[in-house]
Amino acid sequence: MAVDSLWVMDHFFQILMIGPPEHEMLEGYSALAYAAGVTRTITLGTLVTGVTYRHPGLLLKTVTTLDVLSGGRAWLGIGAAWNEEEHRGLGVPYPGTSERFERFERFERLERLERLERLEETLQIAARMWAGDDSPFEGEHYRLQRPLNSPAALSRPHPPILLGPVMIGAPTAAEWVHPDDVQLIQNAPSSLSPTSNPGPRSCPLKPRW
């Protein structure tokens, strides 16, 4: 059977749907870098990276490096993150409440909105870095003095993006993410069969800042 893409989970602990946290879990981008070195044609991505796991500048640099070293085969798979246990376990900050969301009643809603804001800002930073714009970025959650990204990604206009399902229908998504910008997971990751591929097309970003 021909294989045209390889997708790995991007978690630090094993997820409970598969097994206990103590079960093996390789770091996603290290695993993809190894795969890039032993393959020649398959596309490579995470299904999907939680936006809170890595600072956006470092995440975009990592995906760009994978794209360069693989000859233009990288995808950016990204979502709003959900696994609080692995954040706490490894000391990775997990967004909580903020004053400007006090009007909402449920704590879960507050957390989700902040993570969606971070996801939106990360996509804005991606648009800048992949366009070669290293001017300062000033967001609500992230501030980058010089988001330089050299060498540039080989994929044009940038590595394609797979957006996790938590973003679909969210208020921030409706404001600036359009169907022709990115590939969307319509349901849970299980909606992608082992033989399916989100698609080899490149999806241009349309940032609004």
At residue 151, the 3 state secondary structure works out as coil
Q: What percent of the chain has pLDDT over 90?
A: 43
pLDDT for residue 41: 95
Q: How far is CA 156 from the centre of its chain?
A: 18
What pTM, to 2 d.p., does this model score?
0.76
pLDDT for residue 111: 61
Of the CATH numbers 3.20.20.30, 3.30.230.10, 3.40.50.460, 3.40.50.180, which one belongs to the domain with range 5-191? 3.20.20.30
Domain locations in the chain? 5-191
From 128, 100, 102, 112, select the one nearest 173 (Cα to Cα): 112
Once rounded to an integer, what is the mean pLDDT over residues 68-87? 89
* Residue 183, H or E segment: strand 183-184
Summarize pLDDT for 176-205 with one digit per residue, the tens: 333 444 565 544 333 333 333 444 333 344
Please give the residue that has the higher pLDDT: either 200 or 161: 161
pLDDT for residue 102: 41
Query: For the packed helices 56-69 and 107-130, what is the interaxial angle rounded to 10 degrees?
Result: 50
Backbone angles phi, psi at 127, to 5 degrees: -60, -40
Backbone angles phi, psi at 101, to 5 degrees: -110, 15
pLDDT for residue 185: 54
Please give the residue that has the higher pLDDT: either 203 or 56: 56
Summarize pLDDT for 100-145 with one digit per residue, the tens: 334 334 445 556 677 788 888 999 999 999 999 999 999 999 999 9
